[in-house]
């Protein structure tokens, strides 16, 4: 039972460390502060049409997992690709990102939540 308790706390610690690292990167590093809507738009537009769409979806997935505000990323998709096409790519990125965030939370926090509500 002691080993299970340790693994539960280790997983919770990893989840907290991931969130803290994401917050630290985007708030307190020069590179993280450079990631602005304009920066993302310019970076995506500099690639070809297919690559730009795939990059946008990948950025949206990472943004969803890293708990970035979805409004900014969704607006960028609408500006880049138009309302309908941007909505499609936003939906794909958000769905995959939410699924990954759920799986990460389930993997890292399941034992903790089970013990909390048991």
pLDDT at 37: 65
Structural domains counted in the chain:
1
Separation CA 5–CA 40 (nearest Å): 42
pTM: 0.62
Separation CA 111–CA 10 (nearest Å): 10
- Which residues of the chain are under the pLDDT cut of 70? 1, 37, 40-41, 118
pLDDT at 84: 94
User: Which domain range does residue 83 map to?
Assistant: 2-117
């Amino acid at each position: 039972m002691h080993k299970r308790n340790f693994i539960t706390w280790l997983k919770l610690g990893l989840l907290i460390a991931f969130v803290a690292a994401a917050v630290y990167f985007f708030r307190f590093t020069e590179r993280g502060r450079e990631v602005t809507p304009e920066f993302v738009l310019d970076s995506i537009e500099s690639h070809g049409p297919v690559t730009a769409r795939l990059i946008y979806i990948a950025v949206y997935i990472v943004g969803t997992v890293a708990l970035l505000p979805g409004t900014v990323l969704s607006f960028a998709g609408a500006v880049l690709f138009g309302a309908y096409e941007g909505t499609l790519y936003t939906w794909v990125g958000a769905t995959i990102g939410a699924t990954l965030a759920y799986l990460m939370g389930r993997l890292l926090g399941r034992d903790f939540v089970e013990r909390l509500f048991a």
